[in-house]
Structure 1
Amino acid sequence: MHSRPRWQRTVDIVLSTDPKLRQRTGMSLLALVLMVCSAMVMLLVGHAGVAPLRWVQWWAAVSIAGLALMLVLIRLRCTLHLDDPGLDIPQMAWTITSGAVAYVLAGEARGIVPSVLAMILFFGTFGLTVRQVIGIGLYALANFALAVALVGWLGDAQSGVLDTAYALMVAIVLGGCMALNMRIQHIRARLRQQRAELAQALADIRMLATRDELTGLLNRRAMLDLMQLEQRRNQRTGRNLLLALLDLDHFKAINDTHGHAAGDRALQAFTTTVRATVRGTDVLARWGGEEFVLMLCETPCEHAADLLERVRCAVAVLAVPHAPVPLTFTVSIGLARALPRRAPRSHAGARRPGPLRRQGRGPRPRGGGAPARAAPCGQRYGPHRRLGPVHPLTAMELASGPRPSRRSTRPRPAFSSGSVAGLYW
């Protein structure tokens, strides 16, 4: 690995490697360099005899020392607790005051000061608010008005026309810089607003791409991505992964009888109830119209069965709020456990395909496709037993594969990739 050049290491030492601190230190260093250049010009004027050299030397030393002190404070992180950690306003106020003093000292060369004033004011273009720009502009106007009055009082004024031209030029520079700064601040404010609106729009698009608008749950696409991720993790680590498929019974009849608004409220009430019943680590997603998928990670099958029984009981006693008539419904639940390796051929039901069977008490439903309602609430399930052949599935295929029609008696096709112990109860 090649080391960085020496000059880059030196720059990092002077300006810091922290991006924000580096920016503040760089701007302060630039202001100091410009002040040094201005002091050299003033010293040149003093050596030419236009301005008093001794006073110019004192002015240069004090002006440079003030900005150097602020640079050191910024670099040593002594200003981080301030509202203006870059000391933009103090540096601008200091240089404006120095410029006003230079206007008094420059004598016949005081016409060079307005250009320096413009450069000072443009330092606050990107760091100040509109109110701060107005305040610093008024401060500059007061300083230079005092400087013009002091020049007249000291009797150092030149011809009246020339002094008036200097004063008007200072006023024009101040007004123009303030107007441009305010315009730039308005543009920056509009850009910030547009950026915030764009960020909100992107967040809304991201939510619509991954969330169901009605229930706020993960949608099918987002759940598929999460299932693929968990399946790869399951194959790598062998962690227990369970998927439960929840289907609201006769939900179409609710829409046909009470309207789609009542159906939407039923879905929202169901979502709220299930999320309040399951754990915070469980992931619930809306898979279809009235179908939901619940992902249970690191959960034993016995605990998952108890959890889903609590869900079934909670839904059975649920009363949909704000419904035109008392509205209740039930839910059928299927559970599948993902196995990280292919199940042996001797696995139950692996020799021939067949419909998923119900586990629990009660008669087997007719039609073969739809699961029957679970045992009554409060009745305990006996030992897990298979009442019929269960064909091998994968956890992904259980949720993403086509479900048989409620009127169809055709058995599900067998899948050959991986295996899952799938049950309806």
Structure 2
Amino acid sequence: MSDQTPQAELIRQSLKKRYRKEKRFRLYGMLAIAVALGSLLILFTDIISKGYTGFIKTTITLEVPLDGELMYLQDPGDSEQLAMADFQAPILAALQQHFPEASSRQDQRELNRLVGSYAANQVRDLLKTQPALLGSTKTLEFLVHDTVSVYVKHADNPAYSIRLSEQQRRWVDQLVAEGAIQTSFNDVLFSRGASREPSNAGILGAIVGSLLTMVVTLVIAFPVGVAAAVYLEEFAPQNRLTDFIEVNINNLAAVPSIIFGLLGLAVFIGLFGMPRSVPVVGGLVLALMTLPTIIISSRAAIKSVPPSIREAAEGIGASRMQVVLHHLVPLAMPGMMTGSIIGMAQALGETAPLLLIGMVAFIVEVPDGFFSSATVLPVQIYLWASSAEQGFIELASAGIMILLAFMITMNALAIWLRKRLERRW
């Protein structure tokens, strides 16, 4: 009994020590998850706090007198007169109706800075399309200048520098009190391309450019990647050449993305003479970058199909090609699609390879084809973030939110497809 008691006590102490280690290990795991979630929460809070105002536009509504004498315009159908007319004058006159004391040249210059630089173009386009409005008074809505928009949205936030004079601030406060200046959802962000002025800048061109680039990437990378995976897994002989190819595919999956940009610059643009800053070249570069991911995930999906499926098909007389096309590929397709979607989401967020092939250009027009000059969402965000204006910082954060929404949607789609289509053997 004296020998058994110490032994039992040693066992109890050993169990207690093991349980304490397990509790510490679980605590470390929970702490790591808490740190990760906290970091993610801080990141999203910072992005949303800076970017939600990017989805808000500030406009001013004015009663604009479309007086021909004021604009030096008699015939809106005459292109020469349209080119020489002063379309800022009626806007200034409309502002002076609110502030009749602003009569000096300095006051007029400060009044003109309350309205965006594209307001005059808006008046010109209106008279060009509707010449009968000449001589009438029209209620028009204009986008305000970026400095006014920042002041209206962040007047109480000392972190934002307000570049308005004291007089301009009084004018803006009065217009806000009168209801002439209002804020609303920023539909401009989703309906226009890039602009030098933040209040007129939109992300539609970058969204269309990203979609066109992703179409090229998917059309090239998915069939080539699946075909390569099927060949390597089912038809390729086991020799040194095959081993060499497999090792290099695994290595390519870890190569920095900028290397693929250098490859695209040297081959597609330098050797083949393809144009810069077009979705076709961007799609080709991203397809090369995505191929290793698709090949690896597709091979894993093929390996997950039980050998009994292959043996049963061969047992009833199916050829090797019929086994692959009629049984293995359809059963492995959910895994292939999941890997492809994850690879496409990775390609959607890439910036470095596209910078090297010229997709960093300032693109005003929305691209209308695969060979039109275009940019993509990450590059547009990079351009906005590198600008000093407060309005562009807001747009950059808003663009990050849109890009994250696209990537979360694509990853959620991959998870849904995996859960919906996968089969457990």
TM-score bracket, normalised by the shorter chain, equals under 0.3
> TM (normalized to structure 2)?
0.20
Greater radius of gyration (CA): 1
Using structure 1 for the length normalisation, give the TM-score.
Answer: 0.20
